[in-house]
């Protein structure tokens, strides 16, 4: 039975100070990670500024501004000058991410340097692993050789750590890749893209990273958007193989998955507020249909409220000024 009028929940909503007093979920810059794209040259993105790419020198300058604003962690993606069938630029000691790490590490000793570990930006065909011999290019990524890819992913992760990375984050969705990386790096934190879905929300990222598949799609290794129990199995496997942090990607269409993972596992949980989520709000704001700041803060609060401890977001730099 209602306890009104004794209970009046509006009492704590009357002023901003009272609302803050009763607020259950808070945003703190320490919870956020800024994605950065390193490439052979700088290429601005006027409509989606956080999806621009930087030469190594310009990346250092951009990182200086982020650190000055209070950002404490970044995740690096690389766009190599050349690509090949075996993604050699991913694990080359002089690869673009390795160059960026060596430039950033001594300059920003307290900054958490996380790297995305995947082959899609480095393969000529744009898939996240090497292809099976004689692969004809199926529609669903079945031609990607899971087990042959594991060694290259581990080599990539090792090269990143040797260049200065604090944390590696495998995003390829090959079975067994966390275990392969853990065997090679027993002391390095691994943030596993554990529940990474075959989503339509990655489009702006793939354009920025020049990583769209040349044929087919990634449904043969990324998760079916209809599944949540499978996501829990992926997370369970990654924890067993040595993951320190689990991740759900994308974030906003998968808040139920974030909540399910949070309730099942006690390890830290990350969520990736992906490029399509960012781009939709940016586009709506440009059209005058939405207040970008209010929509972004509401979105990020929802991700945290669902259970994410860490949020990778293209709004991180702007969030620094908003908070």
Active site members: 196, 249
Radius of gyration of the chain (CA): 20
Q: Pull the structure tokens for residue 43.
A: 């290429």
Find the distance separating the first CA and the last CA of the chain, reported in whole Å.
40
274, HSE (Cβ side, Cα atoms, 13 Å) = 22
3-state class percentages of the chain: helix first, strand second, coil last, to nearest 5? 45, 15, 40
CA 185, distance to chain mean position in Å, is: 21
Ramachandran area for residue 247 (φ above 0: left; ψ -120 to 50: alpha; else beta): beta
Residue tagged 């899609």 (tokens): 120
Measured distance CA(277)–CA(273) in Å, rounded:
6
DSSP reduced 3-state for 50: helix
Are 130 and 123 within 8 A, CB to CB? yes
Measured distance CA(61)–CA(64) in Å, rounded:
5
Are 299 and 274 within 8 A, CB to CB? no
* Inter-helix orientation angle 275-286/292-306, to 10°: 150
Residue tagged 């996240």 (tokens): 128
Distances in whole angstroms, Cα of residue 279 to Cα of each of 67, 289, 294, 316: 24, 14, 15, 14
């Amino acid at each position: 039975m209602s306890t009104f009028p004794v209970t009046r929940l509006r009492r704590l909503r009357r002023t901003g100070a009272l609302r803050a007093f009763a607020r259950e979920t808070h945003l703190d810059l320490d919870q956020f990670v800024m994605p950065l794209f390193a490439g052979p040259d700088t290429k601005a993105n006027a409509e989606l500024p956080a999806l621009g790419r930087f030469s190594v020198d310009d990346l250092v300058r951009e990182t200086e501004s982020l650190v000055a604003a209070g950002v404490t962690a970044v995740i690096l993606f690389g766009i190599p000058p050349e690509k090949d069938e075996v993604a050699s630029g991913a694990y080359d000691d002089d690869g673009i991410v390795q160059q960026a790490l060596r430039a950033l590490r001594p300059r920003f000793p307290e900054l958490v340097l996380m790297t995305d570990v995947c082959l899609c930006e480095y393969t000529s065909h744009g898939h996240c692993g090497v292809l099976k011999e004689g692969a004809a290019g199926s529609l669903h990524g079945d031609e990607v050789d899971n087990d042959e890819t594991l060694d290259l992913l581990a080599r990539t992760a090792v090269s990143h750590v040797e260049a200065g990375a604090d944390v590696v984050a495998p995003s390829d969705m090959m079975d067994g890749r966390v275990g392969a990386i853990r065997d090679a790096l027993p002391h390095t934190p691994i943030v596993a893209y554990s529940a990474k879905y075959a989503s339509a929300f990655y489009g702006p990222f793939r354009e920025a990273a020049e990583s769209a598949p040349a044929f087919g799609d990634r449904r043969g290794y990324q998760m079916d958007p209809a599944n949540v129990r499978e996501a829990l199995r992926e997370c369970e496997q990654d924890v067993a193989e040595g993951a320190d942090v689990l991740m759900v990607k994308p974030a906003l269409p998968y808040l139920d998955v974030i909540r399910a993972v949070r309730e099942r596992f006690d390890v830290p949980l990350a969520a990736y507020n992906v490029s399509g989520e960012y781009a939709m709000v940016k586009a709506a704001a440009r059209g005058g249909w939405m207040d970008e700041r209010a929509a972004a803060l509401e979105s990020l609060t929802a991700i945290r409220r669902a259970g994410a401890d860490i949020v990778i977001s293209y709004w991180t730099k702007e969030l620094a000024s908003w908070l």
